[in-house]
Structure 1
Amino acid sequence: MNLIIKKVLNKLEDKGFEAYVVGGYVRDTLLGIKSTDVDICTSALPKDIIQIFNTSGNHINYGSIALSDGKYNFDITTYRKEHNYDDRSPGKVEYVDDLLTDLKRRDFTINTLCMDSSGNIIDLLNGKEDLEKKFIKVVGDTSLKLKEDPLRMLRAIRFSVILEFDLDPEIVKVINTDKHLIKSLSYTRRMEELNKIFASKNALVGLKILKELNLLEQLEINYDKIVPVNDVLGFWAQIKYSENYNFTKSSREVIKSIRKIVSSGEITNEVLFNYELYISMVAGQILGYDNKTISKMHADLKIKSVKDLNICSKDIFKILDIKPSSLVKDILKDITKNVLDGNLENNYEDIKNYILKKWK
């Protein structure tokens, strides 16, 4: 048991409350996966947790208190039972005093495993067996659980993809009959799950599963051929998606740039000059280039910025005896291309003679 986590559990136990690490951290620990997000379930009420950890009520969300020590992010939740789901949220939360009732409200059996302050595993719903069998199984009534929160359909697929686990046929059955409920999910939630799949080494498997389960229409995405890349936006650049997906302005620009480079069909010196190296590398992966080749091309560029040219706008005004105009921008672009292509040496006299010959 990690000493920092043990200390948090002990604080609750010292006040007479039960407390266990639950869910993802325990699951990942047993699988040998490092995690810094720690969920703790406890018999302590929110007011008790606030008092014990001397925190404000501003951190409360559905009876959960969020804490962080800089290394671990803790989410401490009172044992509870949830009733009357509406729009993915329980209409009523009832605090209870036993662990099993709390575990029964959770999504998948592999996420019901608990760990006490001594590092012992508590397994009340056969989660360890499913973990060993590499099996994603819903806690309780599969149909009810997936219908009350359709995000669980995507979470099941995501866990299956990332952990390389099999889906319970009952999950597949419910997805096949009730996949239309996925359209009720916000685009933000859809994107979060898709991003986690795209960030996985098994991203192509995930996309194949989504297609086989006929979920592309529900997710409002489509694709023909996908080349695996080590960047989430690189996947989005190869996918047709609804404009309702909430990308940031900068992310949209990255996707647009990757698509533009890919449509050109090659990585040239001009591409490397005009775009960030990272964007060029992602586009290069899609086009079949290896990163070492692109890195060398970038390192060998004769100039990496217009500022590297041994001539400036004022020089051009003087050489051509003209006033400032948009023509200068065209001239600089022409000079830049020729220097990058090796057709023109980057020295003042050669560039001056080139300007006089072509632009006078």
Structure 2
Amino acid sequence: MDKSFIKAKPILVKLIEHGFDAYYVGGSVRDYLLNREIGDIDIATSALPNQVQALFEKVIPVGIDHGTVMVRYEGESYEVTTFRVEESYEDYRHPDRVHYVQKIEEDLARRDFTMNAVAMKLDGTIVDPFNGRGAIKEKRIETVGVAEERLQEDPLRMMRALRFVSQLGFSLAATTYDTIRHNAYLLERISIERKTVEMEKLIQGRFANRAWQLFIQSGVDQYLPSFEKEPSLIQKCAQLEWIPLEDMAEAITIFHQLATSLSVTQMVKDWKLSNDVKRQSLRLTEAVQQWGSEEDCYVLYGVGESLLSSFCKILQILNRDAPSFKNLKRTYEQLPIHSIKQLALNGNDVRALFPNRHPGPWMQQLLRTIEKEVVTCRIRNEKEYLKERALQWNQQEEDY
């Protein structure tokens, strides 16, 4: 058994010792059956939330209204959820009513896809009432029960299906695909934040190309930020050979290159992303646009070490003439400076050189000019050389 399950084992043991049923459930069991790396471990139990709270020292009532608490054990967090069935989803996300039940099979019946409706006992025995193992073996994504009911309960499940295509390389069952195609419009009722979470997971998948094709065929793209504003974007995405991305900053950069009418700033706003994502994407966008017109060393200097891998991936996906990451990294490491803070000349030095000039934008322009000449190895990063260059720059400006 995977070490992740072993670490969580004491939680199941304690629940069982106190007379409750307890199982590993969901994505961790699916990934175990696929021999994939195990992520978060979720646990389902017949114990009620207050009974779980009484058994463990550190419990956070994260979703107690819906039967879920977070148990903290040896530095790890585990969601422990009482067996339940659900009734109606007025907000297309949370069930209006939750009823606790005593059998794991009833609990599994409420889940989205058969591959996720699989549980595992403490001894490794698999509980699989909906043939999830068969779906996993056949690499098929199919809903538990009636597809229309499952996907209308929470329309985000349609995006989840496409995300699983990207992550796992599975195909959609015919009924699942048809239901998505006829109900894609319901995604209008889903918050942007939830769509963004699924999109970020999708672009991290190894089989994103398959997902982009399904976006087109199903019409899901028409209800997503960026894509609804620029219909050609999805077609262009589908024509690229994608490799797994790290985050939305990389995706936004690529989207802008494919559809320049979509500004980075507006897309960040539309997807409700952070200012940090905007800063990263703007840096990457500037670098992509400079690549081939500026010297490589200067472009990489602007990218910075933290975004070097992202920049390399973006160039590869866009089919730009890019060296390997190893060569880009070597070029970056050989730069004479990696930050303007390492420049031997600073603002105080400039003011001392020109005591009769008022500080202003000219100082920044001067330092930027000198910075570029140092980065591109036209002059040495030594104070006296830089002072001399500053004086020459000032004279040229006055002559002009």
- TM-score w.r.t. the length of structure 1 is 0.92
2:359 is matched with: 325
DSSP 3-state at the match of 1:94: strand
Q: Distance in 2 between matches of 1:69 and 1:197?
A: 30
Please tell me the residue identity of whatever aligns with 2:46: S
Distance 1:269 1:150, change over 3 A: same
Change (3 A) 1:356 1:51: closer
Tell me, in whole angstroms, the C-alpha distance in 2 between the residues paired with 1:177 and 1:25: 30
Match among 250, 253, 273 for residue 247 of structure 1: 273
Task: Tell whether 2:253 aligns with 1:237.
Answer: yes
Write the letter of the residue equivalent to 2:191. Answer: S
Residue of structure 2 equivalent to 1:24: 27
Q: Tell me the equivalent position of 1:270.
A: 298
Deviation (angstroms), 1:23: 1.3
Structure 1: gaps spanning 5 or more residues = none
Q: Which amino acid counterpart does residue 101 of structure 1 have in structure 2?
A: E
For 1:47-68, what per-residue CA distance to the aligned partner results, in whole angstroms no more than 9, with x for missing partners? 2111122455734251111113
Matched with 1:155 is: 160
For 2:144, what is the secondary structure of its paired residue? coil
Structure-2 change in CA distance of 1:321 and 1:90 (3 Å): closer
Report what 2:398 is aligned to. Answer: none
Corresponding residue of 1:96: 101
Partner of 2:230: none
Note the C-alpha offset of 1:141.
Answer: 0.8
- Alpha-carbon shift at residue 71 of structure 1 (Å): 5.6
Within 2, Cα distance between the matches of 1:314 and 1:54? 58
Say yes or no: does 1:316 pair with 2:353: no
**Pick aligned residue for 1:68 from 68, 72, 78:** 72
Q: Secondary structure at the match of 1:124?
A: coil
Moved more, 282-291 or 16-25: 282-291
For the 8 Å contact 1:109–1:130, the answer to whether it is kept is yes
What amino acid maps onto 1:269 in structure 2?
Answer: C
Tell me if the contact between 2:147 and 2:175 (Cα under 8 Å) persists in the aligned partners: yes
- The answer to whether the 8 A contact 1:227-1:286 is kept is no
Distance 1:298 1:242 in 2: 28
Instruction: Spell out, residue by residue over 1:232-263, the C-alpha distance to the aligned partner (whole angstroms, 9 max, x if none).
Output: 22122112547331211101111122122212
1:231–1:58 Cα change, 3 Å = closer
Q: Kindly, what percent of the aligned residue pairs are identical? A: 28
C-alpha change, 1:163 and 1:314, in structure 2 (3 Å) is: closer
Q: Give the direction of change, closer, same or farther, for the CA distance of 1:306–1:98 in structure 2 (3 Å limit).
A: closer
In the TM superposition, what is the alpha-carbon distance from 1:310 to its structure 2 partner?
3.0
**How many angstroms does 1:37 deviate by?**
1.3
* Cα distance in structure 2, aligned partners of 1:71 and 1:212: 44
Displacement, 1:271?
Answer: 2.7
Q: CA deviation at 1:218?
A: 0.8
Structure-2 change in CA distance of 1:212 and 1:242 (3 Å):
farther
Whether 1:7 and 2:10 are equivalent positions in the alignment is yes
RMSD between aligned alpha carbons? 2.2
Note the C-alpha offset of 1:274: 3.1
> What residue identity is the alignment partner of 1:126?
N
One-letter amino acid matched to 1:228? W
1:332-358 CA distances to partner (integer Å, 9 max, x unpaired)? 112112222222233333333333333
2:208 to 203, 212, 216: 203
Task: Give yes or no for the alignment of 1:282 onto 2:310.
Answer: yes
In structure 2, stretches of 5+ residues that fail to align are 228-232, 256-261, 396-400
Shift of 1:320: 3.8
> Which of 242, 262, 265 is the aligned partner of 1:228?
242
Normalised TM-score (structure 2):
0.83
Residue aligning to 1:343:
378
Pick from 124, 138, 150 the counterpart of residue 129 of structure 2: 124
The one-letter code matched in structure 2 to 1:306 is I
Q: Deviations over 1:125-160 (max 9, x none)?
A: 211111111111111111111111101111112122
Q: Which moved more, 1:65-74 or 1:168-177?
A: 65-74
User: What pairs with 1:72-221 in structure 2 (closer than 5 Å)?
Assistant: 72-87=76-91, 88-221=93-226
**Aligned partners of 1:199 and 1:231 also within 8 Å:** yes
Distance 2:130 2:381 in 1: 71
